[in-house]
Structure 1
Amino acid sequence: MDFLNNSNPADLIVLIIWGAIFLTFIVKLFQSICLVPTKSAYVIERLGKYHKTLDAGFHALLPFIDRVAYIQDLKEETIDVPPQECFSKDEVNVEVDGVIYISVTEPIKSSYGIVDYRFAAMQLAQTTTRSVIGTLDLDRTFEERDLISAKVVDVLDKAGEAWGIRVHRYEIKNITPPQTVRLAMEMQVNAERERRAIMAKSEGDKQSVINRSEGIKRETINISEGEKQRRINAAEGKASEILSLAKATAESIKKVANVIDQEGGQKALEMQLSEQYLKQMEGLSKENRKVILPANLLDYQQWMNSMGLANTNKNKV
């Protein structure tokens, strides 16, 4: 305090000036130390002219000569494209918005090639979207989102070469038609849905009728096949029966013939025929039929003649 009180005003002013110069030097010295974070780039100017680009890490600059002119973020970033009105090929006004994904690849160009690359990319995306939608009908704009995105990315990539940026992709968030068009589209969708439901129901009915007719057809075939097999089996059984009866009759006749040829066979045959003759007379009397009878019922030879069997028996004998 005594020093300040005893000092001249001029000395105090000089002291203050040197103190300010010292403080300024200290501040500039600290500012000349740069710690660049990862995925960042510092553009350095020396005496107002581009000098170099600093990558991530520790760097020291020359005080009062070098300065950090631009700080560029190298990470991928998103830029919202605000909604805009576009006219489709069939003159329908729609509102379109989207989002751009870009990143800085050359910090020098992004710093000196354009004033604001973000704003420029957004404006170029809007104009390109309008031009692409103008070549499409309204119905196709909802189906060709990939085509619109590819066109915008292609245009932005060509422009980004001069701006030092890279456009990774462009996505359309919403395509909003007017209220009247939306109502018409909803009616069209509902009509298409109803048409598909009717078609599905008719296809189901058609398939059901086909299935039923196929079932009836198979049932009829099965019944006819069964009836055919039944008749074949019956015919085969009848044929077997007739064949068996014929064989049995033939065997019986053969045995009778053998018996007749033996001694006493003729009388045994006449006795059996007489028995059959009496049984036949009994049956005729029960039926009350008119028959011609011989005068002597026991006259077997006369009955044989009336029946036309006499000659037969003589031939057999």
Structure 2
Amino acid sequence: MTPLLVLLVLVILTILMTVKVVPQQTAYILERLGKFYGVLQPGINFIIPFFDRIAYKYTLKESAIDIPEQICITRDNVQVRMDGVIFIQVIDPKKAAYGIADYTFAVIQLAQTTMRSEIGKLDLDKTFEERMIINRAVVQSIDDAAIGWGVKVLRYEIKNITPPQSVLIAMEKQMQAERERRSVILQSDGEKQAAINVAEGQKQKAVLESEGVRLRQINEAEGEAAALRSVAEATAESIRLVAAAIQNEGGMEAVQLKVADNFVEQFGKLAKAGNTLILPANLADMGSMVASAMTIVKSSEPKK
């Protein structure tokens, strides 16, 4: 190999070492002679070979870190297994490089200790209900500590909460009892509502029947009253006509004839009704009896 060719290869290698292409959403930490010099931005960057070196490479994308399963003890002394996932993002590459040795390991450890602490404040039943509170507490705790690490904690989610088998069996029995209690309550409420509906229907039926009876009695009373008025008016009219006829010529003789006729008719009925018959002393004097009846009729006439 000729010296010229060797020199050409060295020049090409030097150029390649001088140019650094940084991908999008990526940050390179540049050190010059072992000291922090700057952060290379996405695109083409030039460095001094043998003096500058890329010490760290960080992605600026959001990252999901799995939190391993661990045993936590609740406030009522029940051991539960819990795991989760945390989402972080590097926002300051310099702090991420020099603020902590391994921010991923630190975030995992802090998430586990914070989760154990938060679970210890709650009873077992509350751990299933207060997931959002636990998540916010873990995010807040790690975010406060990660300020010097150049890392932003975006969110944390509990994946699984696994109680012991004995607790699961007890919870299943409790849920079964609760479902049976709700079923009994719903059935009793249904029977109660049905009884109320029946009673309400009977009440309305009784009210309607009584209303119907009342209206019927009112109608019957009004009908009877109207009938009585009609009879009374007809009787009064007939009396007025009889009185007017008596005042006419020959009216008194007609009355005498009618009285005698009625007397004979009624006396005949008495004779048919029984075997014993009491006769007045002056039965033969029919004229005197008719005259007596006419005297009564005349005495009842209004005086002029």
The equivalent of 2:248 in structure 1 is: 262
Residues 1:23 and 2:22 are matched in the alignment: no
Distance 2:44 2:133 in 1: 45
Shift of 1:277: 3.5
Shift of 1:260: 0.5
Residues 1:132 and 2:109 are matched in the alignment: no
The equivalent of 1:4 in structure 2 is: none
Supply the AA of the counterpart residue of 1:55.
Answer: Q
Matched length: 300
Shift of 1:22: 4.9
Residues 1:191 and 2:177 are matched in the alignment: yes
The equivalent of 1:77 in structure 2 is: 63
Shift of 1:225: 1.1
Shift of 1:287: 4.0
The equivalent of 2:128 in structure 1 is: 142
SS in 2 for 1:91: coil
The equivalent of 1:302 in structure 2 is: 289
The equivalent of 1:6 in structure 2 is: none
CA contact (8 A) 2:22 2:40 kept: yes
Shift of 1:168: 0.8
Residues 1:313 and 2:300 are matched in the alignment: no
Distance 2:89 2:264 in 1: 131
Q: Deviations over 1:61-111 (max 9, x none)?
A: 222222222111111111110110011111111000000011111111111
The equivalent of 1:63 in structure 2 is: 49
CA RMSD of the aligned region, Å? Answer: 2.3
1:209 to 179, 195, 205: 195
2:263 to 262, 272, 277: 277
The equivalent of 2:106 in structure 1 is: 120
Residues 1:33 and 2:3 are matched in the alignment: no
Q: 1:226-237 to 2 correspondence within 5 Å? A: 226-237=212-223
Distance 1:116 1:239 in 2: 111
CA contact (8 A) 1:41 1:55 kept: yes
Shift of 1:134: 0.8
The equivalent of 1:3 in structure 2 is: none
Shift of 1:269: 2.2
2:233 to 247, 261, 264: 247
Give the 3 Å change call, closer, same or farther, for CA 302–151 of structure 1 in structure 2.
same
Give the 3 Å change call, closer, same or farther, for CA 252–60 of structure 1 in structure 2.
same
Distance 1:91 1:196 in 2: 29
Residues 1:44 and 2:36 are matched in the alignment: no
Shift of 1:31: 3.1
- Give me the identity figure in percent: 45
When normalised by structure 1's length, the TM-score is: 0.87
CA contact (8 A) 1:28 1:64 kept: no
Give the 3 Å change call, closer, same or farther, for CA 237–210 of structure 1 in structure 2.
same
Distance 2:78 2:63 in 1: 33
Shift of 1:271: 2.9
CA contact (8 A) 1:301 1:310 kept: no
SS in 2 for 1:292: coil
Shift of 1:32: 2.5
For structure 2, which runs of at least 5 residues remain unmatched after alignment?
none
Shift of 1:253: 1.1
Q: Could you list the runs of 4 or more consecutive aligned residues of structure 1 that deviate by over 6 angstroms after TM superposition?
A: none
SS in 1 for 2:58: strand
Q: Deviations over 1:278-308 (max 9, x none)?
A: 4434544554474435686893653785xxx
Supply the AA of the counterpart residue of 1:77.
Answer: S
Distance 2:284 2:95 in 1: 150
Supply the AA of the counterpart residue of 1:132.
Answer: E
Shift of 1:124: 0.5
Give the 3 Å change call, closer, same or farther, for CA 311–75 of structure 1 in structure 2.
same
SS in 2 for 1:271: helix
